[in-house]
Amino acid sequence: MTGLATTFAHALIALGSVIIALLGSIGRLARFALTALGRLVRPPWYPAQLFEQMLVIGYFSLPVVGLTALFTGSALAQQIYIGGSRFNAAATVPAVTVIGIVRELGPVLGGLMVAGRVSSAMAAEIGTMRVTEQIDALTTLRTDPFRYLVGPRIIAAVLVMPALVLVSNALGVMGGWLLATGRLGFNSAAYLNTTAQFLKTDDVISSMVKAAVFGFFIALMGCYHGYHSSGGAAGVGRATTNAVVSAFILILLSNLIITVIVFGS
Amino acid sequence: MTAKIELSGVKKHFGHKVVLSGVDLAIQPGESLVIIGGSGTGKSVMLKCILGLLTPNAGTIGVDGSSVVGLSARALAAHQARFGMLFQGGALFDSLPVWRNISFALAGPAAERRAAAIDNLSRVGLGADVADLRPSELSGGMQKRVALARAIAARPEILFFDEPTTGLDPIMADVINNLIRTLVTDLKITALTITHDMASVRKIADSVAMLHEGRIVWHGSRDGIDSADNPFVDQFVHGRADGPIKMQLRKL
């Protein structure tokens, strides 16, 4: 009995330690985010850094986001056609494709692809700056690392992600249209007409909101893990992995929350 | 005379690891003080505490009589603006060309900042031809010189040098030592250098302090290090394995 009680106590201690560590991590992350946002309010601002980051995050992510959306839209249309045919509902392909792409797959897959490309790059760059003392050097050169490194990345990601997802949505729908008209025998004009009928303004707005939220988490995770990296090359590697994994989880979690709030009722 | 920099009872620990265990030290205006001590004795941590990059757990740090512990973000930025620092690895920004690294803290039009950068390059013996190169295109010695040019560009009151000759061949190390001595003398700057290199100590220092296990165990003039009646200094200066400083080695 004593042995069982001891084992139970150890399990409780272990569980408590995990919960305390988790809450500590959330607290540190929240403090980092609030510091970054607080510093954004007051000058100096660095517009050149902002434009550079918009280019890096937005323009250079276009190929990977666009191709992902195009292929996913085509595959989605094919699957809806196969599934719908069983219930004599193959005609729902354009409607379900546009809803699926705009409400979920466009922003989520776009967010995940950008997180894979951008969060890792940010964590690696800022992490390398940390371990080579470049961030300390910034401070001694009268430059606030939050304003110079973190702020422009967060603003750039929040601004360009909606634009990227807009393109992603358009290419996703186009992928479905290409497959449906080229392979499944759909009439082009009828397909586009049905797509337009089922595409609602609210869907597009929710897609943009999701994209902006995902952009915030993508940049925040990249900057946070890079900023706190330590231990040389291995530490930068860990920061990069942690940035991508945590960005993925936050994107999927926030997507669920937004979906339930917007479409749950 | 009020000390330019004064540390009193400064303690710093990271978790259970005690790095500084009560540092008392004063540096006079215009003095070039060199801190010697083995690896991991807390030299870099002490510099970062003075700069405000790290906050000590106990003790006071004053610059010109004003405390630098617990400053607001704005006051801390003003405090840090008084310093220039040469980091151990140079810490040059990889993404920027040499001239933008040097002029990073300077204000004004790009042409003026570029001219100022080239002027500072000439002070460290480099020509305008390196101004547009990236740090990765420079040798280790040239990177150190560019980092030195960056450290002095904003004409700071106080300069810190963290292991300025580490990783350099003896000739390049002597070039860097000469540059530091000349700059400190010409610009009348208060300088604090940390190093293991006794050649640097003899060239750069007006006075020397030895840090061991988080405390200053000796402080005296440069000429006094060879005759210091201190077993720690004696062992360090002569580079002997035997003595009061024990390296933590596993027995084979």
Q: Looking at the structure, do residues B6 and B65 belong to the same domain, yes or no?
A: yes
More confident residue, A45 or B168: A45
Tell me the DSSP string of B88-142.
TT----TTS-HHHHHTTT--S-HHHHHHHHHHHHHHTT--GGGTTS-GGGS-HHH
Q: Is it true that the peptide bond before A44 is cis, omega within 30 degrees of 0? A: yes
**Cα B113 from chain centroid (whole Å):** 25
Residue B234 lies in a domain: yes
Residue B127 lies in a domain: yes
Residue B87 lies in a domain: no
Neighboring chain B residues of A142 at a CB cutoff of 8 Å: 77, 80-81, 105, 154
Q: Looking at the structure, do residues B162 and B243 belong to the same domain, yes or no?
A: yes
Q: What is the CA radius of gyration of chain A?
A: 22
- Top mean pLDDT of A111-115, B13-17, B79-83 is at A111-115
Q: What is the pLDDT of residue B250?
A: 60
Residue B235 lies in a domain: yes
Q: What is the pLDDT of residue B1?
A: 67
Tell me how far apart the alpha carbons of residues A238 and A4 are, in angstroms, rounded to a whole number: 37
Taking CB atoms and an 8 Å limit, are B154 and A141 in contact across chains? yes
More confident residue, B172 or A5: A5
B155, B171, B193 — which closes off a domain? B155
Q: Looking at the structure, do residues B163 and B217 belong to the same domain, yes or no?
A: yes
Residue B88 lies in a domain: no
Q: Which amino acid is at B67?
A: S
pLDDT band at residue B252 using 50, 70 and 90 as cut-offs: low
Q: What is the pLDDT of residue B249?
A: 59
pLDDT band at residue A1 using 50, 70 and 90 as cut-offs: low
Size of interface A-B (CB pairs under 8 A): 43
> Residue B195: which CATH number?
3.40.50.300
| Burial of B24 (C-beta count, 10 Å sphere; 0-12/13-18/19+) | middle
pLDDT band at residue B119 using 50, 70 and 90 as cut-offs: very high
Percent of chain A with pLDDT over 70: 100
Identify from A55, A140, A144, A148 which residue to disrupt to test chain B contact, counting B C-beta atoms within 10 A and taking the largest count: A140
pLDDT band at residue A116 using 50, 70 and 90 as cut-offs: very high
Alpha-carbon dihedral sign for residues B58, B64, B66, B72: negative
B135, B155, B175 — which closes off a domain? B155
Nearest to A137 among B77, B81, B91 (CB): B91
pLDDT band at residue B196 using 50, 70 and 90 as cut-offs: confident
Percent of chain B with pLDDT over 70: 97
pLDDT band at residue B70 using 50, 70 and 90 as cut-offs: confident
Q: Looking at the structure, do residues B113 and B176 belong to the same domain, yes or no?
A: no
Identify from A141, A142, A149, A227 which residue to disrupt to test chain B contact, counting B C-beta atoms within 10 A and taking the largest count: A141
Residue B206 lies in a domain: yes
Q: Looking at the structure, do residues B104 and B62 belong to the same domain, yes or no?
A: no
Q: What is the pLDDT of residue B242?
A: 78
B101, B128, B155 — which closes off a domain? B155
Q: Looking at the structure, do residues B11 and B130 belong to the same domain, yes or no?
A: no
Nearest to B87 among A128, A133, A144 (CB): A133
The tally of CA atoms less than 13 A away on the side-chain side of residue B199 is 14
pLDDT band at residue B237 using 50, 70 and 90 as cut-offs: confident
List pLDDT tens digits, range B92-104.
Answer: 999 899 999 999 9
More confident residue, A40 or A250: A250
pLDDT band at residue B34 using 50, 70 and 90 as cut-offs: very high
Q: What is the CA radius of gyration of chain B?
A: 19
- Give yes or no for a contact between B143 and B154, defined as CB atoms under 8 angstroms apart: no
Q: Looking at the structure, do residues B189 and B117 belong to the same domain, yes or no?
A: no
Residue A182 pLDDT > 70, yes or no? yes
Residue A7 pLDDT > 80, yes or no? yes
Q: State the ipTM, two decimals.
A: 0.84
Q: What is the pLDDT of residue A87?
A: 86
Structural domain harbouring B105: 93-155
Q: Give the mean model confidence (pLDDT) for residues B227-239.
A: 85
Q: Looking at the structure, do residues B59 and B41 belong to the same domain, yes or no?
A: yes
Residue B252 lies in a domain: no
List pLDDT tens digits, range A38-73.
Answer: 988 888 899 999 999 999 999 999 999 999 999 999
Question: Helix or strand or coil: residue B21?
Answer: strand
Taking CB atoms and an 8 Å limit, are A136 and B91 in contact across chains? yes
Q: Looking at the structure, do residues B105 and B223 belong to the same domain, yes or no?
A: no
Q: Looking at the structure, do residues B29 and B76 belong to the same domain, yes or no?
A: yes
pLDDT band at residue B251 using 50, 70 and 90 as cut-offs: low
Q: Looking at the structure, do residues B26 and B118 belong to the same domain, yes or no?
A: no
Please count the structural domains in chain B. Answer: 2
- Ranking A29-33, A240-244, B86-90 by mean pLDDT, the lowest is B86-90
Neighboring chain B residues of A128 at a CB cutoff of 8 Å: 94
Q: Looking at the structure, do residues B72 and B163 belong to the same domain, yes or no?
A: yes
